[in-house]
Structure 1
Amino acid sequence: MSLFWIVLRQLAQIEAMATSKKLITREEWEKKLSDVKIKKEDMNKLVMNFLVTEGFVDVAEKFRMESGTEPDIDLATISDRMAVKKAVQSGNVEDAIDKVNDLNPEILDTNPQLFFHLQQQRLIELIRNGKVEEALEFAQEELAPRGEENIAFLEELERTVALLAFEDVTNCPVGDLLDISQRLKTASEVNAAILTSQSHEKDPKLPSLLKMLVWAQNQLDEKAAYPRITNLSTANLEDPAV
């Protein structure tokens, strides 16, 4: 065998060793997990953060009483925030705007994008209800001036007004604006703005930690075979493929 082939074979063996994954058994993995200590107090804070951010006021109050975990905002404000969110989700945008202003007028005064999206949702609801003339008047008087100042607003306005050009919105390229998902999107934006005004995180920490878990597993997959969580809802460990 020539020296060239000997060297080539050795290089191939070295590369195979470098790319081979380490096998971690379930016993080893569970031992590593048992060595990790997490305070119950921290877990309770994560749960409370999720309940407060998502607006489960009744559950949050019960959890506070049972665990002794105090929320970082007044639970009474959650009901007000959820009333705003529900109004948008129901298509009652004018009522939602009034409720936001009752909570804190500065929210809309300092967030032109949010205010535009709420007005855009009002326009969508007028179109949904077949109020064509009222929709055109509202678009011209309330939204067009804002579109002249912001190209992104103008593009969104043009896309919304395009709904009026189609009799059958099911085949309309902008028909997604009439989906319930559009209301939910606007409601989530309002919810986040209210939370921010209350010096609270706009997103709960728990989903972010789950995303970090998935990312960490994906990184580890390149280096080792180990019991991994494939179903986040059950958190069951699945043995590595041998």
Structure 2
Amino acid sequence: MLCIALAGTAAELLYVRFASASPGSTPLPEPPYPLQTAPPYTIALDAGHGGMDTGAQSLIDEVIVCDKTVAALYTLLSTDPNFTPILTRTPEEDPPIKDRAETATLAQASLLISVHANQDGSRQSHGFECFPTPPGRLYSAESLHFAQCIVNNMASAGHRLRGETGIRFAYYNGKSKKIVDSTDTKVRSQKSFGIVEKVGCPAVLVEQCFITNYSDVENWASDEGCTRAARIYYEAICTYFGTTPLPKT
């Protein structure tokens, strides 16, 4: 079942929501999921947290960074005829990861980006990192390629890349999280971030900046910073699909 609603925001976003795969509803396709081979490509945008869940809180709430960046990226993609953006949630919602992934999968998304922001007890920590689907999982190679497109653009924009390359893999053992750099290609059985494992397409979770660092907040969490980051993600998406970005306005 498909449900479409118009939100009366400044960006006039179109929220495309799909019912969960429950008895009587549209079933999820069996993996490997079919991906689009020609434009317009459907791009799933997952703004972290939402609703009552603000995410991390410090100099700014994480959810504000997520929402502003995704709204700007949605506008860029919806202007480009090569892409059809969809959102995994509205600003008022905080659906479970499983529901977010199913929304993207049932929309037959060809790519997903999940936007988050980081925090640390030390205000000195700063920079960008992203987490593609880990080795051994479906679409891990494509996810790594998309992550590389993003970090190349972030580095060109002057953002500090954390770790060796800015690309890392995350694994959970209970509540304990292990993070390794992308040079560690060992296939592990531990779960990673749910959104990059459960969705039926290549996916990357980005940590855009540290909301505990004044410089990061000024450059990457302000209105201008979120717009800049959205442009970087947009151009990375274009690079991934081999399309030409629309000129900056």
Structure 1-normalised TM-score? 0.24
Give the structure with the larger strand fraction. Answer: 2
Hey, which of these two has a bigger chunk of helix by percent?
A: 1
Q: Which has the larger radius of gyration?
A: 1
| TM-score normalised by length of structure 2 | 0.24
